[in-house]
Chain A
Amino acid sequence: MDLKKLNKIPKNYFKEVMASLSKLEKLKKVHFFSGIHFTDAEKELAKKIENYKKVEREAKKVWKIVELSRDENRPQCLDYIEGIFKDFVQLSGDRITGEDKSIISGIGKIEGTTAAVIGNNKGKDTKQRVQYNFGMSIPQGYRKSQRIMRLADRFGFPIITFIDTPGAYPGLEAEDDGQAGAIAKSILLMFEAKVPIIAVLIGEGGSGGALALAIGNYVMMLKNSTYSVISPEGCAAILWKDPSGSKLAARALKLTSKDLLRLKIIDKIIHEPMGGAQNNPKRMVKIVKKYIQEALGKYKGIPGEELKMQRARKYESMGIFKSS
C-alpha cells in the first residue's frame, strides 16, 4: 500500500479511502498478531477512514430525508387545499396560451378570510403523475400563478403557496416558451405584491421551480421536506461525475429543514407525525392548518407597503461572505 500517496490529498479522496479500507482491516489483523505498532502514516489513514465513515453516516441520514420528502403517500397540495380551505374554487389557465395542471391555483376561505392558494401537485399514482407532469411546471403554469398573484394583490387576498416540485420542466417547448423568464417574473411578482405571502414547503423544493412560488413574508418547511439549489442527483452528476455520489451530494448541499433554519433561509420548521407525514396525512394537514393560521395572524393589519418592504429586506440581506 502506497501510504505516501494517500497522505497527500488524493484526487479521488473517497474512492481511494474506500479501497484502502479493506487493506487496513487486513493490516490491523497482521499487527494484532505480530504485536507491531501502527506507524504515523497508518494512524493518519485510520483517522481519514473514521472521518469518511462519519460523513457516510451523515449522508445516509440526509438521504433518508430526501426519500421521505419524495414519498408519494405524503399529503400533497390538493390534500392541504381540501383540508384547510372552505368554498375553494379552482382557477385555471394563463390566459395566453394554455393550462398547466402541474400547478393548482384558486381561492378559498381560511378563518373567514378569502385567500389565494397556489401549489405544485405531483399526483399519487402513475396516471395522476403523468397528468400533473410529476409536479414539474412549464411557463404556462408560472404565468397562471402570476395571474392569480395579481388577482390576490388587487383584492387584498393573502397568498398561500404549497411547494412540492423536483424543479421546472426541462423540455424543448418549455424553453422555447421562455421558461427562464417565466420563473424570473414569478419571483418579481412576489416582490411586488402588497399582501402577505405564506410559503409552505411540503415535500421536494427543487431549485428555481420551487423558488418561483417560495418568496414569502413567512416561509415554513415540513420537517422532512427538502429545499435545494439542485437535485442531489444533478449535483452528483456534475461534481462527483458519478450518480452514486447522490447521497454525499445531498449531505453537502445542506438541504434539510434543520440546515435551512440555521442559515435563516426559512422561518419555521413544521413538525410531522411520528415517522413522517406519510404515516398520518390527516393529522399532517391539521398541523399545517394551525401553522398557516398562526402565520396569517402575524401579518393581519400590517399595511401592504410594509409587507412588501419586509420581503425585500429579508431576501436582500441573504448571503454569507467575507468583507475586508
Chain B
Amino acid sequence: MDNIKCKNCKKKINEERFILNLWVCPFCNYHSYISARDRVQITIDDGSFTELGSNISSEDFLNFYDSKSYSTRLKEAKLKASLEEAIIVGEAKIKNYAIALGIMDFSFMGGSMGSVVGEKIRIITDYSIEKKIPLIIFCASGGARMQEGVMSLMQMAKTVSCINRIKESKIPYFCVITNPTSGGVSASFASIADIIIAEPDALFCFAGPRVVKQTIGKDVPSDFGTSERDLKNGQIDIIAGRSEIRDTLAKLLKLFKDSIKS
C-alpha cells in the first residue's frame, strides 16, 4: 500500500496503518475525514445496520445554478461520495443496545443540509420514538444548503421540531460532533442534544473562522471553534478520540437504558 501524507503534521503515514488507526494520524493524532459508511463500520456491531429512507433524493426545485446547476452538483456529489445524500440513517446496534443512527458525510456537498437531510432526520427521529430506542447522530456539515434557498433554512426548524418530540418522549439523544460542524446544523439539531460528544480538534461553531476574522478585522485565536475551546467554554460535554467513541456511547446507553419507559 501507498504512503499518505497527514494533512496536519505533513508526515508520511503507511496507508494500511492509517486505516487501522481509524484515519487518525499516529504521529499527531489529527482526526482526518472518514466516510459515513466507514464510520458505520467502526462504530456499530458488525452487520447490525439497516438503512432507512434510502428511497428519497434531492430535487433541483429552484432551478438553482451558479457556474454549475444544482442538478449537476448533485450528480457529481453522488459519484464523489458514493452516497445518495449528505446523511445516512438507519437502525443499528452498539454492544447489543439498539439505537436509531444518523451519520453525516462531509464529502457530499460539504455535508450541507437541504430537504433530504431534514426529511431523513425526521424519519430517524420518528423511528427512534416508535421503537423507543436512543437516537445518535454524527454531525459533519458546513451548514444549510444554499441551492435549496430558504427551504434549507426551514430544515433547521424541521429538525429542531423533531428533536423536541424526542425530548417530550423522554428518549435520550446523543450527538457526536466531527470536523467540521458549523452553520445551520450547529445552530439546530446538533447543539440541543442531551449529551454532546466531540472528536478532538473538531471545528464546532456557528460562523467559521474566516467570516469572524473578516467581521472583527483581526486574527482569531488558533483554537477558534475547536472542541477543546468549546469544552472550556461549556458548550460540549466530552471530547472522545475516534477509537473511544464506541465505548463512550455504549457506556451512556447502559446508563440511560432503564430510564426509557416501554
Contacts and interface: CB of A to CB of B under 8 A. Distances in A.
B207 A170 contact: yes
A318 B157 contact: yes
Given A252-B65, A253-B149, A172 B224 contact: yes
B contacts with A: majority SS: helix
Contact of A228 (B115, B150, B211): B150
Contact of A239 (B119, B146, B155): B146
A59 to B, nearest CB: 12
Interface in B91-110: none
Given A180-B206, A211-B156, A318-B155, A172 B149 contact: no
A49 interface: no
Interface in B169-216: 182-184, 186-192, 204-207, 211-212, 215-216
A111 B235 CA distance: 42
**Most A CB within 10 A of own CB, among B58, B150, B221:** B150
A235 to B, nearest CB: 5
A180 B141 CA distance: 13
Contact of A229 (B66, B149, B162, B215): B149
A175 B212 contact: yes
Contacts of A191: 160-161, 164
Interface in B46-94: 55-59, 61-62, 64-67
Contacts of B122: 316
Interface residues of A, number: 57
A175 B149 contact: no
Nearest to A191: B164
A44 interface: no
A254 B158 contact: no
Contacts of A13: 67
Interface in B116-151: 116, 118-119, 122, 144-146, 148-151
A255 B156 contact: no
Nearest to A241: B67
15 contacts: A168-B206, A170-B206, A175-B207, A180-B186, A181-B192, A184-B189, A207-B184, A208-B187, A211-B157, A229-B146, A229-B153, A230-B146, A252-B64, A319-B119, A322-B57
Interface of A: 11-13, 168-172, 174-181, 183-185, 187-188, 191-192, 207-208, 211, 215, 227-230, 235, 238-240, 245, 248-249, 252-255, 259-260, 263, 265, 311-312, 315-316, 318-324
